[in-house]
Amino acid sequence: MADNVSSLVRSRMMSAVRGRHTRPERYVRKLLHAAGFRFRLHRSDLPGSPDVTLPAYNTVVFVNGCFWHGHDCLRGRLPSSNVKFWRRKIGGNARRDAANETALKALGWKVAYVWQCQLRSDTAVLLKYLRNRRQRERSRESAR
Ligand SMILES: [Zn+2]
C-alpha cells in the first residue's frame, strides 16, 4: 500500500517535471507540422521520452519548462524557502536531463532543447536546422 501511494506521488511529480502537451510544446509541434516535418511524440522507448522525435532527421526535441529543468534564467530561479529541498529536486532533474542527453547521443540522436523563456527563438533555430538538413538531403537526391 505504501508503495502504491509513493509511486502515485512519484508519478505526479514526474508529470509535473515532464508536463505533456503543454502550451510551449503545442507551439513547437504546430510550427514543425506547418513546415511539413514528420514527428512522433513522447517515445517511451527513448531515454527521457523526448517530447518530439523526428526519425528522418535523427533528432529529438525537449521542450523544457525553465523552473523544473533548472534553466539559468529568471524563471529558473529557486524559491527562497525550502532552498535545500528545491536545490536537490531541481538539481536531480537537471542531472537526469544530462544523463538522458548523453544516452541519446550515444544512440546516434541529435538532441535539441526549446526553453520556455526562449520559445520563439529556440523554435526558429530548430526549424532553420531542420530546413537546412532537408535542403541538403534534397540536393543530394537530385544529384544522384
Ligand atoms: Zn529559461
Instruction: Compute the mean pLDDT over every residue in the chain, rounded to the nearest whole number.
Output: 89
For ligand 1, the distance from its centroid to the CA atom of residue 66, given in whole angstroms, is 4
Per-residue pLDDT tens digits for 41-82? 999 999 999 999 999 999 999 999 999 999 999 999 999 999
pTM over 0.95: no
For ligand 1, the distance from its centroid to the CA atom of residue 104, given in whole angstroms, is 22
Q: Check whether 102 has a pLDDT greater than 90.
A: yes
- Residue 78 to residue 90: CA distance in whole angstroms: 8
The predicted structure's pLDDT at residue 5: 45
Beta strands in 31-93 (DSSP E): 40-41, 52-54, 59-64
Integer-rounded Cα Rg, in Å, for the chain is 17
Q: Check whether 3 has a pLDDT greater than 50.
A: no
The confidence band for 1, taking pLDDT boundaries of 50, 70 and 90, is very low
For ligand 1, the distance from its centroid to the CA atom of residue 16, given in whole angstroms, is 16
For ligand 1, the distance from its centroid to the CA atom of residue 6, given in whole angstroms, is 30
HSE value, Cβ hemisphere, 13 Å, CA-based, for 76: 16
Per-residue pLDDT tens digits for 29-50? 999 999 999 999 999 999 999 9
For ligand 1, the distance from its centroid to the CA atom of residue 70, given in whole angstroms, is 8
Long-range contacts of residues 54-58, Cβ cutoff 8 Å, at least 24 apart: 54/130, 57/110, 57/130, 57/133, 57/134, 58/108, 58/109, 58/110
The confidence band for 6, taking pLDDT boundaries of 50, 70 and 90, is low
